[in-house]
Amino acid sequence: MDAQSMDAEQKLAAQANVIYRHTLPVRLTHWVNVLCLIILLMSGLQIFNAHTHLYFGNSSDPAHAVLSMGAMQKPDGSYAGQTTIGNWTFDTTGVLGLSRDAGQLEVRGFPSWITLPSYRDLATGRRWHFFFAWLFVINGLIYLAYTFLSGHLRRDLAPSGRQLGSIGHDVVQHLKLKFPKGEEAKHYNVLQKLAYLAVIFVLLPLVVLTGLTMSPGLDAAFPFLVEIFGGRQSARTVHFLCATGIVLFVFVHVAMVLISGVWNNMRSMITGRYRIEAAE
């Protein structure tokens, strides 16, 4: 056998193990979502920077903030960035409360490299936020309609009873960074399914609802919104916590993509095709 036909044979064998994992609607809505979430996070932090305190209830009493960022002057005359959560105060100079923008120290909640625009401009931050909030909601509704109507939810996302029974085993395998192969790898594993379901049906809807609750117009139209969250300031705090939850999810999600075969994963989310490793 010459080298070329060997090569072709290997290719064929490899192709036999390639499955069509992500359909076009899933891939498209995924990447639109990535764009929206990046912009919503960065413009959201710009908006947060206009008032760097969080509260529960309906009023913003500075004495009862649950989270505060700011700067204070130290005895030696220099300034320090401080973040207070409940009764704990942390020195967060350089990142939160006080950070450098183009070399200049500036009193600001989140630093310029993570806000949109980088300079302080609440009006423009709001313009970005609300435009991409609409895109995010429309994209999310398209995804949800597809997920329910196509069977994606039932087929790919709902964990089977057998899977739920083996959660403990899956957690141990994940901690050992051992990922499913062969037949098992053709489906999302149970931890993946639960993480995706929590994001799709809890975190993302909650971030939208708490966002809407901050609107005085919608509060007049749907008074139950404020009641559910226990006040506009509570809604603002929960909105911030949801955003934090989404960021944590993205960290884990991207880490998993990186360590479980970054090119295979990226290809499957771009072209849909995912290569299955043979079981040992």
Among 74, 100, 127, 181, which residue sits at the site for another protein (rule: CB under 8 A)? 127
Cα–Cα distance measured from residue 51 to residue 71, given in angstroms and rounded to the nearest whole number: 13
Min. distance of Cβ 230 from another protein in angstroms? Answer: 13
Q: Does 131 bind another protein (CB under 8 A)?
A: yes
Q: Does 139 bind another protein (CB under 8 A)?
A: no
Cα–Cα distance measured from residue 126 to residue 122, given in angstroms and rounded to the nearest whole number: 6
Stretch of 15-23, 216-224, 249-257, 271-279 contacting another protein, by CB under 8 A? 216-224
Stretch of 36-44, 92-100, 156-164, 166-174 contacting another protein, by CB under 8 A? 36-44
Cα–Cα distance measured from residue 274 to residue 111, given in angstroms and rounded to the nearest whole number: 38
CB count in 10 Å sphere of residue 74: 10
Q: Does 134 bind another protein (CB under 8 A)?
A: yes
The amino acid sitting at 111 is P
Q: Does 216 bind another protein (CB under 8 A)?
A: yes
Residues that bind another protein (rule: CB under 8 A) add up to a total of 48
Instruction: Compare residues 111 and 180 and give the one whose CB is closer to another protein.
Output: 111
Instruction: Compare residues 120 and 152 and give the one whose CB is closer to another protein.
Output: 120
Q: Does 100 bind another protein (CB under 8 A)?
A: no
* Paired tokens of 33: 């979502």
The 3-state DSSP class for residue 67 equals strand
The 3-state DSSP class for residue 150 equals helix
Q: Does 38 bind another protein (CB under 8 A)?
A: yes
Stretch of 85-93, 97-105, 186-194, 217-225 contacting another protein, by CB under 8 A? 217-225
Contact positions with another protein (CB under 8 A) in 102-121? 113, 116-119, 121
Contacts of residue 167, defined as CB under 8 A and 6 or more positions apart, other chains included, come to 190, 191
Q: Does 128 bind another protein (CB under 8 A)?
A: yes
Q: Does 279 bind another protein (CB under 8 A)?
A: no
- Residue 159 DSSP class: P
Cα–Cα distance measured from residue 270 to residue 28, given in angstroms and rounded to the nearest whole number: 9
Min. distance of Cβ 171 from another protein in angstroms? Answer: 31
Min. distance of Cβ 195 from another protein in angstroms? Answer: 23
| Terminal alpha carbon distance of the chain | 27
173, 141 contact by CB (below 8 A): no
Stretch of 44-52, 71-79, 99-107, 155-163 contacting another protein, by CB under 8 A? 44-52
Q: Does 246 bind another protein (CB under 8 A)?
A: no
Q: Return the closest-CA partner of residue 34 out of 254, 273, 258, 260.
A: 254
How big is the chain, counted in residues?
Answer: 280
Stretch of 15-23, 158-166, 183-191, 219-227 contacting another protein, by CB under 8 A? 219-227
51, 125 contact by CB (below 8 A): no
CB count in 10 Å sphere of residue 274: 19
Q: Given the rule CB under 8 A, which residues bind another protein? A: 7, 38-39, 42, 47-48, 50-51, 53, 58-63, 113, 116-119, 121-124, 126-128, 130-131, 133-134, 214-223, 226, 231-233, 236, 263, 266
